[in-house]
Amino acid sequence: MKRTKEHFRGCLLGEATGDALGRPVEFLRPNEIKKEYGENGITDLITDINGKAGITDDTQITLFTAEDLLRAETRGREKGICHLHSVVYHAYLRWLQTQGYPQDSEKDFIYDGLLITVKELYARRGPGSTCLSALSSGRMGTIEQPVNNSKGCGGVMRVTPI
């Protein structure tokens, strides 16, 4: 598989576009979708008054994941060290802040990064309670010591950048 910038960009744009397409029907049942959008369901992006289609928390977290994978790669190359799980965990803590969960002000490292400065990301877009509670617990889980016992599919949204 090719791994060029164009493929990476296309993957992220495809995820965001699919997310925006599905956002209006994310929590609807199939019969509700057909009633609202017809037999074929939703087939076009639904835009706001400014012509923009909204994204969900899935794209938000995907973007924070991508940002910190790049940061981890850079740190590894420049300093020869990087704990990938910690870097990505702190990305998710920054995302959590955009959802209205304030962080400990003594942890300045949480507030760095580019995405934390994008005001449009400071919007709750349907984040799952498992994700919110795990991140707000203040603990970084591991496979051996998980923060919760969720069996949901929320982790799928974070693999796009990988």
Q: Any idea where the domains of the chain sit in the sequence?
A: 1-54, 56-162
pTM of the model: 0.86
Provide the pLDDT for residue 1: 66
How far is the C-alpha of 28 from the C-alpha of 123, rounded, in Å? Answer: 21
pLDDT, average across residues 83-103: 88
Q: Residue 106 — very low, low, confident or very high, per pLDDT cuts 50/70/90?
A: low
Binding residues for Mg(2+): 56-58
Provide the pLDDT for residue 18: 94
Provide the pLDDT for residue 155: 73
Q: Residue 85 pLDDT > 90, yes or no?
A: no
Binding residues: 56-58
How far is the C-alpha of 45 from the C-alpha of 51, rounded, in Å? Answer: 10
Phi, then psi, of 150 in degrees rounded to 5? -65, 145
Q: Residue 142 — very low, low, confident or very high, per pLDDT cuts 50/70/90?
A: confident
Provide the pLDDT for residue 146: 87
DSSP letter (8 states) at residue 47: B
Provide the pLDDT for residue 62: 94
pLDDT, average across residues 106-120: 79
For the ranges 29-33, 90-94, 137-141, 155-159, the maximum mean pLDDT occurs at: 29-33
